[in-house]
Chain A
Amino acid sequence: GAGVSQSPSNKVTEKGKDVELRCDPISGHTALYWYRQSLGQGLEFLIYFQGNSAPDKSGLPSDRFSAERTGGSVSTLTIQRTQQEDSAVYLCASSLGGGRETQYFGPGTRLLVL
C-alpha cells in the first residue's frame, strides 16, 4: 500500500516568513510523528500525535513551531517567522499504534530559509 507522503518535497523561503509542511500518514495508522534532520543536530524528535490524546510537544524547539492533526489523519507542521537555523529536512513518520510499533518514515521536506 501507499507509504507516508509529505509535501512539498522542497521549500525555499525568506527569513521571517511562515511555512506549512504537510504529512499524509499510512492509512489506518493512529500514531504520527514529526522529526527534524539537520547537519548540526542529527535527527531530533519534534512532536507526536496518538489518536485523540493530547499531543506530546516536548521536542518542539520554540513556540514558533506548532502542529495539528485534523480528523486523526493528515498533519500540518507550521513554522512561524522562520529563521535560518530552521533550515533542515523535516520528516514525518506514522505507526500502527504508537508505543513500540515500528515507525515508517516519509521522504521528508527539505526546508531552506534564506
Chain B
Amino acid sequence: KNQVEQSPQSLIILEGKNCTLQCNYTVSPFSNLRWYKQDTGRGPVSLTIMTFSENTKSNGRYTATLDADTKQSSLHITASQLSDSASYICVVSARITGNQFYFGTGTSLTVIP
C-alpha cells in the first residue's frame, strides 16, 4: 500500500533554533518527493522537489534530503523564524498514470519568540 508518514506530528521550537522534520514513504514506483509549506487557512506552497537521483536540495533556510534506498526524506530548517510557523507536508509521486500523488498528514511547526 502506498503511504507517506511524517513525524513528528507537531513541534514547538524557539526562534533562531534549527529543526528537522521527517518523511517516510512506501510509494512505488517512486517518481519524486516534494515538501510543501501550508500556512493556516491557505493553500500549500512548494518548497522543494527531489527526484530519485537527488540527495539534497536547498531553498534558502530550507534543506531537504532524500535517501531513496531507505525511502526517507527530511526537511531541515535553519535559524527558524516566527514566519516558519506552519504545517509542512511531504508529497510523494508515483510514476503511474492518473492519480499519482500521496500526501503525508503534515508536521505542525510552531516557532515561539
| A and B are partners in one complex rather than unrelated chains | no
> Which residues of B pack against A, CB within 8 Å?
none
